[in-house]
Amino acid sequence: MATSQAVESFWLQLTKSRLLTAQEVKAVADELAGEGVDTDALAAKKLVQRGLITRYQADRLLEGRSRGFFFDDYKLLDLLGIGGMGWVYRAQSVSTGQTFALKVLLDQLKQDRGLLARFEQEVRAGQRFKHENIVRTYESGNAGGLPYMIMEFVEGPSLLELLRMRERSRLPWQQACDIARQAANGLHHVHRAGFVHRDIKPQNLLVDHNGLTKILDFGLSMKKDGEDGDEFSMAMIFGHECVGTAAYTSPEQALDSLTADARSDIYSLGCTLFASLTGDTPFPYSRTSEVLKGHQSVIPRHVSDMVPAIPREVGDLVAKMLAKNPADRFASAAEVAHALAPFSKTLPVEFNFSRILAERNRGAEEKLAELQKRQRSASGAASSTAKLTAGSSVASSTTAALPQEANPSAPAGPSVIRRGGFRFEKPPSITMKQKIESVAHSDASSMKAINSGMVLQPFTGGAAIPLVKDPFVIGRRGDCDLQIQDNAVSGRHCELRFDGTAWTLIDLNSRNGTRVNGALIQEHRLKLGDKIIVGPSLALRYTHPAKESAARWATRVRVGLLVVLGLAGLAGLAGLVAAGLWMWGGRG
């Protein structure tokens, strides 16, 4: 094999991986050597360009990994994501060559009876549904003690990903109505089978190039008759009496999801349609408790008032789907689909799926980094100064779900608070890392930033966070200036930049967005007192302690002067009244 020493290890890893046969590896290695390819990175790039391996596979090979590319009878092509229960891959059947989505339970969770029951429930529910608007579940199995399921692979973004591609994060109203109409048709099929999905949201709707919409993820679904009554028992035993996603959950589901029926899914679909039409959720509050209370008691704005181009009739339909009382909503998902039909238009969807896959891989890497950190924390192996990069976490964790690479350490679960019937996670933990460079190495902008005096004050209390450098980065990664331990926050979520007089907040293409005073922003010049919301859960007030104190003192002085003047005015008025009465009495 005519290759340089620099690239020889790469060809060795590729041969051991079994992604190509030894003869295929030798042939392509000799050919690329003749073209002058002398580095492993360039060799990997050439193979990806030729379609011989995927970018996901190339990255793993470059990390020195030769195992973990196969699971049972499937070759793993791409990592589509990682959720609370397991990994999802784009996989190819070795025997048939067909492409599927493969979901496998995390090795660390296979002893968790609650999550194992939920995984098996998702398999059972998914195999029942055969409808064009539902992602099919074809089969399930177990390899090396790990349960998995084989599902239909949809080449397209989720509705959430589609919204992020759009200007102002919203869709043309005809397209938004059509996606909701198709989802309603799928839900009608689910409801007729006696199931309630219980987690309808933009993340769980996939849209392909032709605009065909499909519902996925039946991990929280529940059958409402006695046939699968064990699911109710499972929910009671393992604490699933309140489930779903706060921004999209119905009022009754937030209180007790076991009693929620098909009309609860209609409410969640209404929240999803609201987000598609307006670019925001009905209750875009920073705290989960506020969101859940909003579902209970706050009437959201009419979408036609928010976006005047939307017909009033469409806004009325959304309002009916979002009625607080289930009896005031549409009686069935079929009625929803029928009502939306006149306003719907199926439109082709343009997207770069390779770019979507790259974004999903980045998101998975960030989650993997967090999972690795939790594992080390749980096992006591992590030190206070340990650092994990996304790349290293993938190298050590990507194949952790596979039998030959199993990791027995289970991640620590989120802390949960229960108050007044509501169930929500504790506020995210915040770690401040002040990184002030020496004066000799700071430019003028950084010097002004350090001396600006502005701080971020958490609404939940605690010490103020000084803005000490420019730029000031907020995110979940360990190298951020303000580190937020919350899975809903992106690795590098947003940053603040100083121009010498004021700070500007810039969203860094985060997954859950950055808000100022409730509105989603891409870039916003901050003003004293602005409320910054990072992701769905962290609220910070942009302020200057000295200026705020001076402003409060000035306000007190003004109020005092007004009181004095008011009292003086009243005294004068009283004197005039007394004089008038005296004069009147004298006349009498």
Bridge partners, 482 (sequence order): 432, 474
The residue count of the chain comes to 588
Q: Identify whether 40 is a catalytic site residue.
A: no
Which H or E run includes 37?
none
Output phi, psi for 224, to 5 deg. Answer: -100, 15
Which H or E run includes 117?
helix 113-128
Catalytic-labelled residue, pool 199, 265, 280, 481:
199
For residue 29, give the 3-state DSSP assignment: helix
Output phi, psi for 207, to 5 deg. Answer: -130, 130
Strand 70-71 and strand 74-82: pairing?
antiparallel
Cα 229 to Cα 191, 236, 258, 493: the distances in Å are 16, 11, 11, 43
Q: Of 188, 193, 194, 221, which is closest to residue 337 (Cα–Cα)?
A: 188
Q: What is the DSSP letter of 89?
A: E
Cα 572 to Cα 27, 152, 578: the distances in Å are 104, 84, 10
> Using CA atoms, how far apart are residues 282 and 315, in angstroms rounded to an integer?
13
Q: Can you say whether residue 413 is alpha, beta or left, with left for phi > 0 and alpha for psi between -120 and 50 degrees?
A: beta
> What single-letter amino acid sits at 503?
W
> Using CA atoms, how far apart are residues 539 and 531, in angstroms rounded to an integer?
7
Could you tell me the strand order of the sheet in which 519-521 lies? 465-466, 455-458, 538-543, 531-534, 514-516, 519-521
Unique residue bearing structure tokens 């995927």: 54
End-to-end CA distance of the chain: 128
Token output for 126: 């998914």
CB proximity list for 354: less than 8 A, separation 6 or greater: 55
Cβ atoms of 455 and 543 closer than 8 Å: yes
Q: Of 182, 204, 192, 186, which is closest to residue 249 (Cα–Cα)?
A: 204
Neighbours of 585 (CB within 10 A): 8
Cα 83 to Cα 159, 272, 365, 384, 499: the distances in Å are 17, 20, 12, 27, 40
Positive or negative, the Cα torsion across 294, 297, 303, 307? Answer: negative
Helix pair 55-62, 390-397: axis angle to 10 deg: 90
> Using CA atoms, how far apart are residues 521 and 492, in angstroms rounded to an integer?
16
Cβ atoms of 48 and 34 closer than 8 Å: no
Q: Of 284, 210, 216, 209, which is closest to residue 246 (Cα–Cα)?
A: 284
CB proximity list for 281: less than 8 A, separation 6 or greater: 247, 248, 271, 274, 275, 291
Query: What residues act catalytically?
Result: 199
